[in-house]
Amino acid sequence: MASLLCRVSAAASLARVCSARSRAARPGVLRARAPFATRASASPEPAPDADTMSNDFGTFNKAASSSAAERNKVPIAEAFAPRLRACAPTGGVVVELACGTGQHCAHLSGELPDFAFLPTDLDDSAFDAVRMFTASARNVRAPLVVDACDPEWSERVKRALPETFLQQNAGVDAVLVVNMTHIAPWRATLGALAGAAAVARRGALLFVYGPFKRDGEHTSEGNATFDASLRGRNAEWGYRDIEKVVAEAERAGFGNAEIVPMPANNFAIAMTRE
């Protein structure tokens, strides 16, 4: 993992010189939609090397995402894209929370060229990597610092969007959250759901991916082991009960819950803004 982070850091440094244009990117339709890959990963998503990690959920999530994203970006796209198009057939704006290194945003922006993507994260420590991975995608806006625990994060996102968009639309078309709920305090999940409801238009998609418990129980021995390691690292981390996340999303203003089984004993929650 350490060597992977070094490679990402080196490539990101090069990207600062070569991809300045991408930092000022604006939404737009660039290229024909590529077909989805057909192979979905079934491998587990292990924690990063403990020797390389701090006790900060932002740092942990970025390190974990860089390798896991390569394994799960295709199945996530296959689950997310058709549901997004059902909610927004003519395109729109997608906000990603906890974007990490930007690999999901980069992949999805190619699959969904008629959507504009706004990647956000707790801090800007991985934004060079985000710019590198999205350098060729002009439908990805500059990454934005957003703390899901901040009750005003939705207003920060709105200020980052073009005024013309806000005049013509009641909100964004989707909020995407990948691998955040278990590597963050519970208040971050609650803040993510409340802010998503505040920034999303009626009928917009909420898509939350990650490992969860079902009915209070782990779905695999590996998940139980990983959960125990997370809670040992930080008492505020850990797998969430998927039913509780759905209930909180409903309380925030989302409905039509669909729980989607995903590879590697993960799940996605897909809901729409009411």
Rounded CA gap, 136 and 139, in Å? 9
Which pLDDT value is given to residue 65?
53
Sign of CA dihedral 229, 230, 233, 235: negative
Phi, psi of 99 (to 5 degrees): -70, -15
Sequence-distant (≥ 6) Cβ neighbours of residue 242 within 8 angstroms? 212, 213, 214, 259, 267, 269
pLDDT in tens, 22-40: 333 333 332 332 222 222 2
pLDDT in tens, 120-179: 999 999 999 999 999 999 999 999 999 999 999 999 999 999 887 877 888 999 999 999
Q: Which pLDDT band holds residue 59 (cuts at 50, 70, 90)?
A: low
Rounded CA gap, 211 and 87, in Å? 25
Which pLDDT value is given to residue 80?
98
Model pTM?
0.78
Rounded CA gap, 161 and 38, in Å? 34
pLDDT in tens, 72-126: 999 999 999 999 999 999 999 999 999 999 999 999 999 999 999 999 999 999 9
Question: Which CATH number, 3.40.50.720, 3.30.2270.10, 3.40.50.150, 3.40.50.2000, labels domain 2-23+45-273?
Answer: 3.40.50.150
Rounded CA gap, 50 and 63, in Å? 11
All structural domains of the chain with their residue ranges: 2-23+45-273
Q: What is the mean pLDDT of residues 11-30?
A: 36
